[in-house]
Structure 1
Amino acid sequence: MDSLFTFLFEEGVGPIIILLNESSRLGRYAGSKVNPRSRYSLMPYAVISNGKLPIWVGSDRLQQWGPVIRLQKRNFGISKRVLEVVRAHYNNEPYLEKDYTKLETINIFGLEILSTTFTSAVNILLSDISSKSGRCKVVVTPNVDHIVKLDRDPILCRLYASADYIFPDGFPLVIASKLVGKGLCQRITGADLFPALCKGLASQRGHVFVLGGFPGEEDNICATLRAQFPGLRVTAMCPTFEFSPKGVEAENAIENISKAHPDIVFVCLGFPKQDLFGLIHRKRLQAGLVLGVGAALDFTFGRIKRAPIFLQSTGMEWLWRLCSDPVRLWRRYLVEDVSFIGIVMRELANTTR
């Protein structure tokens, strides 16, 4: 339990009341530990922890007693750990401290997708960079189009699933996860991670390497990003449109990345090229993270206008993009991605068995 106590003290948390529904068996048990007749009684956490930390467990009418953590799905941190201790005590079972450095994932579509908030995702990735682990880690952000293509190519799917961090880019993935009873927290797009990570690294004089864009615009990429994120060091390489993850240009990119030794490599080449580059060459890349961010550069330079926030939040960004570039995208959205419905139905059938 020492790691839990250390975490709480470092965060400056306490005293805490863990609120339980008083009508639940566990809630009644918590209240009865001090006074069986009082619904307002608290079970001191000292019953389990020998008084090392002032945490109390009680009914949900005790909000006036102090700082509160409600036991709801969105509170996956402290409250989840404390509740596990209470449950173990209630069931007269030994409590084994778990490794809470591991992130919560949802197994869906053959992938272990991280269920977290956007802010947490950014902090997780920046912390990973700061840890200087010495191993380049791959970040992928699957959307509906990716899931459809991965479903058709099991070999690619297995390689894709080996990424170190998998965040749900598409809003339909979040909705689908809730339909099958697994509930991803929220969408986390590569296009949003790109500026957020640049901003976070800029404050630390961090270094990013951009692989993508139109041939010959390296200087423009570097100047634009340095202007937008003062303090950020930028190196860029813009390959031809014939770039192959296993070709000569890929070897040149690996060599340039090794010379630059950046904190993050942003690959803007579209799926699956950008993801294959990172997944195939991760052991050779002298960088902290490699992340495929698709059209992020186009958004940055204004070549493609991002959908308004209300369309993004309602899952209608695909419609905005379709209307913006119907010639290129009509087949993807109206023909190919329709099979995503069947994939979700299959996932639902597997879940209910």
Structure 2
Amino acid sequence: MSYTKEQIQFMGVSLDTSSMESTISRIESSIFAQNFMQHCVVNVAKLVNMQRDTELANSVNSCDLINIDGMGVVWGARSCGHRVPERVAGVDLFHHLLTMSARCEFPVFLLGATEDVVTQTVEVIKTQNPDLKIAGYHHGYFWDDEKAVVEKIQKSGAKLLFIAITSPKKENFINKWQDSLGVNFVMGVGGTFDVVAGKVKRAPVWMQNYGLEWLYRVIQEPGRMWKRYLITNSKFAYLLLKEKLKFKKID
């Protein structure tokens, strides 16, 4: 099994630019080799937040594999001269890895969201992947006893752990407990369980392709989201300008 590992340095982060297919092959090979891989994806908001949140930045930069989720980051990196053939969206990678896990007989553990949502997510993915082994699952409201949840994951026999908790909590949790989880692969999947369970609708494909998923979220929740995205996108534009100027100086 082969894969192509390609990285770029963008806004202080080593981003992997491999294709979806190559990314899945790399993860599969790592699990078969009994190695540990800490994975995350980055979008515009996460890159912006990393500039002021040192703990988040350390947690992300400690990952073994960092994929580009947001089209804004893809376009920003390309504008600085980097070769980025495609985005590797976290929700799409999640589904591909479930298919791979079913084929390879890798047990998985799901952690995060509310009790109702994670339970519904388990039911949906079992229907989609009848051969998939669910080693266990737990809701995301466990902060008064993190150790007990970590022990539950460790004893489950899971090979892959998917964590659907908001940033930066999931990144910091993974970085804190990575040596105690007992899994070979751990990935933060944000709001993916809400999408799978049908609680939240994903943006239409054409909006995904044009990097307008943020706009779709604003349309769905204008009162809560418009200010967040206005500020975040403005800060990213400023950071991108600085990155382009730095890139020109290097040239």
TM-score when normalising by structure 2: 0.92
CA distance in 2, matches of 1:127, 1:329: 39
Offset of 1:283 from its aligned partner?
A: 1.2
Question: Equivalent residue for 2:182?
Answer: 286
- The answer to whether 1:165 aligns with 2:61 is no
Amino acid aligned to 1:325: E
Q: Which residue in 2 is equivalent to 1:236?
A: 137
Instruction: Give 2:163's aligned residue.
Output: 267
Larger helix share, 1 or 2: 2
**How far apart are residue 267 of structure 1 and its match?**
0.3
Q: SS where residue 203 of structure 1 aligns?
A: helix
Select the residue among 308, 322, 332 that pairs with 2:204.
308
Q: For 2:117 and 2:34, how far apart are their aligned partners in 1?
A: 31
Q: CA deviation at 1:102?
A: 7.5
Q: Give the deviation of 1:222 after TM superposition.
A: 2.9
Q: Which runs of structure 2 are paired with 1:1-353 in the superposition (5 Å)?
A: 103-133=5-35, 136-215=36-115, 219-234=119-134, 235-240=136-141, 243-244=142-143, 247-248=144-145, 250-353=146-249
CA separation in 1, counterparts of 2:176 and 2:85? 29
Q: How many Å separate the matches in 2 of 1:218 and 1:154? A: 30
Q: Distance in 2 between matches of 1:189 and 1:218?
A: 20
CA distance in 2, matches of 1:275, 1:156: 7
2: CA distance between counterparts of 1:312 and 1:336? 18
**C-alpha root-mean-square deviation of aligned residues, in Å?**
1.9
* Count of equivalent residues: 248
- Structure-1-length-normalised TM-score: 0.66
Distance 1:170 1:265 in 2: 22
Q: Which aligned runs of 4 or more in structure 1 are off by greater than 6 angstroms?
A: none
In structure 1, C-alpha distance between the alignment counterparts of 2:147 and 2:225, rounded to whole Å: 31
What residue ranges of structure 2 are gaps of 5+ in the alignment?
A: none
Counterparts of 1:163 and 1:265, CA distance in 2: 14
1:150-206 per-position Cα deviation (integer Å, ceiling 9, x unaligned): 011234313321110000111011111111111222211111111110011112222
Query: In the alignment, is the contact (CA less than 8 A) between 1:141 and 1:169 conserved in 2?
Result: yes
Q: Distance in 2 between matches of 1:308 and 1:216?
A: 25
Q: Structure 1 pair 223/320, CA: closer, same or farther in 2 (3 Å)? A: same
**Residues in 1 aligned to 2:119 and 2:208: alpha-carbon distance in whole angstroms:** 31
CA contact (8 A) 1:204 1:231 kept: no
Provide closer, same or farther for how the CA distance between residues 128 and 239 of structure 1 changes in structure 2, counting only shifts above 3 A.
same
Q: Is the 8 A contact 1:109 1:147 kept in 2?
A: yes
8 Å CA contact 1:206, 1:231 repeated in 2:
no
* Letter of the 2:29 counterpart: S
Letter in 2 for 1:310: W
Which residue identity is paired with 1:114?
Answer: D
What's the counterpart of residue 78 of structure 1?
Answer: none
Q: What percent of counterpart residues are identical?
A: 27
Q: What is the Cα deviation at residue 304 of structure 1?
A: 1.0
- Residue identity matched to 1:298: D
Unpaired stretches in structure 1, ≥5 consecutive residues: 1-9, 12-100
Task: Measure, in 1, the Cα distance between the counterparts of 2:199 and 2:4.
Answer: 39
**Are the structure 2 counterparts of residues 217 and 340 from structure 1 closer, same or farther at C-alpha, using a change threshold of 3 Å?**
closer
**Residues 1:217 and 1:342: Cα distance change in structure 2 (over 3 Å):** closer
Q: Matched residues in 2 for 1:285 and 1:145: separation?
A: 27
